[in-house]
Amino acid sequence: MTFRLDVDGTTHTIDIVARRPETLLRVDDTRAVAGTVPGNVQVARDGDLAWVRHNGRTFRVRVEDPVAAAQDSAGGSDELRAPMPGSVIEVLKSAGDSVSRGEKIMVIESMKLQTTLAAPRDGVLAEVLFAVGETFNKDAAVARLEPLAEEG
């Protein structure tokens, strides 16, 4: 699994290489063993941002959500696309519902991992293309949006 971590404006790619006998990470191109950080660590959060204070230094940290990143880069903000193949576990909104960017629309499952898919922008949910239990392929459109009435 790959994560992107922004620390004070510098983005790092973190891959989990192994989980046993200890967690082994690859941070950018360097391998590291995950463990505890010695010393006093304080963390403050605000949404997806965190400020970590360690040994007198403060770092601003943001973990990039890979599903949101995939949706943002998928093109066509009128469609909600599946980041991986899977099946629908739960549909949270119906056609005709107004949605805001980031609002949860459905929960999918792929390889026993549940992921919530959210609206890529504000709008009205025009169609939900898959029902609970139905399967889909990677990058399949699972829902479509239309502009809010005042957007034209």
pLDDT at 119 over 80: yes
The CATH number assigned to the domain holding 134 equals 2.40.50.100
Of the two residues 13 and 95, the one the predictor is more confident about is: 95
Same domain, 70 and 138: yes
Domain count along the chain: 2
Is a pLDDT exceeding 80 seen at residue 116? yes
Q: Which residue(s) pair with 63 in the sheet?
A: 5
Task: Give the residue from 32, 64, 96 where a domain finishes.
Answer: 64
Cis? peptide before 38, omega within 30° of 0: no
Same domain membership, residue 143 and residue 74 = yes
For 13-54, write each residue's pLDDT tens digit.
Answer: 887 788 778 888 888 888 877 776 666 778 887 777 778 887
Residue with tokens 């056609």: 95
Average pLDDT (132-137) is 95
Domain identity same for 86 and 123: yes
Distance CA 58, CA 22 (A): 28
Take residue 49 and report the two structure tokens written for it.
């941002």
Q: Is the pLDDT of residue 66 over 80?
A: no
The one-letter code for the residue type at 80 is L
Query: Last residue of some domain: 64, 80, 109?
Result: 64
| Beta carbons of 116 and 66 less than 8 angstroms apart | no
| Top-confidence residue, 141 or 43 | 141
Same domain, 28 and 88: no
The better pLDDT of the pair 67, 13 is held by 13
**Do 84 and 44 lie in a common domain?**
no
- pTM value is 0.51
